[in-house]
Amino acid sequence: MSDPNSNHSNPPPQKSGGSSIALIVGGLVVAVVVLYWLFAGGGEVQNSDVVGEETNINVEAESAAESIEDAGAAAIEEVEEGAAEAEAVIEEGAAEAEAEIEEGAAEAETTIEVDGDAEVVE
């Protein structure tokens, strides 16, 4: 009998495995070495800024008090300016209202024309 598979000259290519696994393992080894170097490496850190064992921190209370007083003075000034503006608006509104009332009273005193028999009563 004849072989149905007539292509005997080209065998299938061999699979080569392991190169991707070697790459992954190598990357993990490098990562572990870098992390070890970062966290475990080095010695004591020398701080050249510290002169002695004591550190003095001074806060000037006078400058803080002056800042608070300045802020308070600024707040009082803003409140006074707002009150002056509100008073001006109120006075302007009162003057306009008074003018409208006088106009309405003047219009009320005018003669009303009526058709027919009508009596004017005061």
Per-residue pLDDT reduced to its tens digit, 23-33: 899 999 999 99
SS3 for 50-63 is: CCCCCCCCCCCHHH
pLDDT of residue 43: 59
Task: Count Cβ atoms below 10 Å from residue 75 Cβ, excluding itself.
Answer: 10
Per-residue pLDDT tens for 38-77?
888 765 656 556 556 676 777 666 777 788 888 999 999 9
Distance in angstroms (rounded) separating the CA atoms of residues 101 and 93: 12
Look at residue 113 and tell me whether its pLDDT is greater than 70: no
Distance in angstroms (rounded) separating the CA atoms of residues 73 and 79: 10
pTM of the predicted model over 0.85: no
Joined together, the tokens standing for residue 111 give 């003669």
Map residue 115 onto helix, strand or coil: coil
Look at residue 2 and tell me whether its pLDDT is greater than 70: no
